[in-house]
C-alpha cells in the first residue's frame, strides 16, 4: 500500500476501455502504473497521475492488484505468463482480468496463478466506453466471493460489481450479456429499416417507444448512433463477432441450440467480411440496409 493506505495497482491494456478505467482508479486516489503495447495510449494517462511502464513486468513490480483489459485470451496469456509479469508478483497479489475471454481459458489462468500463490478473478465488464468513463460499468466477477468483497473499494471506482460464481462464471455471464447485446442491436436495426420503409421517421419512432416495453440501453445509445449514422467504435464489430464465436463454442460444448444467436452471429460474420470489423457493433445496420436496398 502507499502512504495513504491505497493498494498499488498495475493496469495492463489502456485502449478504448482500459484507459478510462485506469483514469477512474487514479481519480479515486489509487497509485496506478500502466502499460500498453502501443505506448502512446499509456502515455496519455501521465497527466492524470499514472506512472508509465515500458513492459508488463515493470508495471507489475510491487503491485498488489493487476488489472488486465486486453483483446483476447491469447493476449492475456502472453502478457501474464510470457512477458515475465507473473514472475514480478508476490504471493497474495491479485490478478483481475476484465478482458472478454473464453471461460475455459479463464479457468486455466486461475489454476496457473494459484500454483504461484496469486489470486484471480475473471471480471469482464459491460457498459462500453460511456460506462467506463462514468464509473457505471456492470462488473461480473468469477472467483472467490470473499475476494470480490475484499476489493469492493477498488471496484466501486469502476462501477457495480456482482459475484456470479466460481472462476469462469464471470466470462460465461459476459458471453450471455454479449448475446443479448448482439441480438438487440439486430432487432433495433431491423426495426429502423422497417419504420423508414413504411414511411415513418426513425428518430420519431425511437422517441415514441422510449419508456415502453422496448426501452433499453441499446435503443438509447445505439439507436441514437443509427439515427446519426455515427459508427466510430465504442465496441467494435470485430470484438462482437469474437464474443459470438465464443458463445457458439460454449453452446456446442454444452449441446445447446441457440437459433437467434446463430442468426445474428452469421450477420456479424458477413458484416466483418465486408469490411465492417472496425466499425461500432451498431454498424450492423449498414449490413441490414445492404440486404434491403429499397428500404428507404
> Where residue 241 sits, what CATH number does that domain have?
1.10.1040.10
Same domain, 202 and 61: no
The SS3 call for residue 128 is helix
In a domain? residue 232? yes
Residue 2: how many other CB atoms lie within 10 Å? 11
Q: Is the pLDDT of residue 294 over 90?
A: no
If pLDDT is split at 50, 70 and 90, which confidence band does 142 have? very high
Cell of 268: 456479424
Angle at 122 between CA 119 and CA 128, to 5 degrees: 140
The answer to whether residues 55 and 94 belong to one domain is yes
- Which residue, among 97, 131, 75, has the nearest Cα to 10 in the 3D structure? 97
* Region for 196 from its dihedrals, namely left if φ exceeds 0, alpha if ψ lies in -120 to 50, beta otherwise: alpha
Distance (Å, rounded) from C-alpha 65 to C-alpha 54?
18
pLDDT at 6 over 90: no
Q: What is the DSSP letter of 86?
A: G
Instruction: Note the pLDDT tens digit of each residue in 220-254.
Output: 999 999 999 999 988 899 999 999 999 999 999 99
At 150, which CATH number?
3.40.50.720
Residues 93, 191 share a domain: no
Please identify which residue in the block is written with the cell numbers 498488489: 64
Does any domain span residue 21? Answer: yes
- Tally of domains within the chain: 2
Residue 54: Cβ within 10 Å count: 10
Same domain, 156 and 178: no
- Same-domain check for residues 146 and 244: no
Q: Which residue has the cell 445509445?
A: 221
In a domain, 41, yes or no: yes
- In a domain, residue 42? The reply is yes
Per-residue pLDDT, 232? 93
* Residue 174 bears catalytic tag: yes
pLDDT tens-digit map of 143-189: 999 999 999 999 999 999 999 999 999 999 999 999 999 999 999 99
Which one of 174, 242, 279, 290 is the catalytic residue? 174
Q: Is there a single domain that holds both residue 287 and residue 217?
A: yes
Task: Let me know whether 281 and 179 are in one domain.
Answer: yes
Give per-residue pLDDT as tens, 204-219.
999 999 999 999 999 9
Task: Kindly report the three-state secondary structure assignment for every residue of 261-294.
Answer: HHHHHHHHHHHHHHHHCCCEHHHHHHHHHHHCCC
77 & 152 share domain = yes
Structural domain of 250: 172-291
Amino acid at each position: 500500500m502507499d502512504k495513504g493506505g491505497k493498494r498499488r495497482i498495475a493496469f495492463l491494456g489502456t485502449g478504448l476501455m482500459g484507459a478510462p478505467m485506469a483514469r477512474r482508479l487514479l481519480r479515486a486516489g489509487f497509485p496506478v502504473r500502466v502499460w500498453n503495447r502501443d505506448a502512446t495510449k499509456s502515455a496519455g494517462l501521465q497527466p492524470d497521475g499514472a506512472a508509465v511502464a515500458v513492459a508488463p513486468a515493470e508495471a507489475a513490480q510491487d503491485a498488489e492488484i493487476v488489472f488486465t483489459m486486453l483483446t483476447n485470451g491469447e493476449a492475456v496469456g502472453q502478457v501474464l505468463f510470457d512477458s515475465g509479469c507473473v514472475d514480478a508478483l508476490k504471493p497474495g497479489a491479485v490478478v483481475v482480468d476484465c478482458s472478454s475471454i473464453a471461460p475455459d481459458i479463464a479457468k486455466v489462468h486461475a489454476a496457473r496463478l494459484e500454483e504461484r500463490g496469486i489470486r484471480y478473478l475473471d471480471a469482464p465488464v459491460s457498459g462500453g466506453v460511456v460506462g467506463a468513463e462514468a464509473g457505471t460499468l456492470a462488473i461480473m466477477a468469477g472467483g472467490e466471493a470473499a475476494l470480490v468483497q475484499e476489493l469492493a473499494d477498488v471496484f466501486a471506482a469502476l462501477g457495480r460489481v456482482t459475484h456470479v460464481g466460481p472462476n469462469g462464471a464471470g466470462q460465461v455471464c459476459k458471453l450471455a450479456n454479449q448475446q443479448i447485446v448482439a441480438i438487440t442491436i439486430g432487432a433495433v436495426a431491423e426495426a429502423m429499416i422497417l419504420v423508414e420503409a413504411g414511411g415513418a421517421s426513425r428518430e420519431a419512432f425511437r422517441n415514441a417507444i422510449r419508456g415502453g416495453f422496448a426501452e433499453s440501453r441499446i435503443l438509447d445509445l445505439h439507436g441514437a448512433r443509427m439515427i446519426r449514422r455515427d459508427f466510430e467504435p465504442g465496441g467494435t464489430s470485430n470484438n462482437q463477432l469474437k464474443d459470438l464465436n465464443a458463445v457458439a463454442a460454449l453452446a456446442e460444448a454444452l449441446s445447446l441450440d441457440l437459433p437467434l444467436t446463430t442468426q445474428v452471429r452469421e450477420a456479424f460474420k458477413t458484416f466483418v467480411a465486408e469490411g465492417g470489423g472496425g466499425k461500432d457493433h451498431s454498424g450492423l445496420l449498414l449490413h441490414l440496409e445492404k440486404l434491403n436496398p429499397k428500404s428507404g
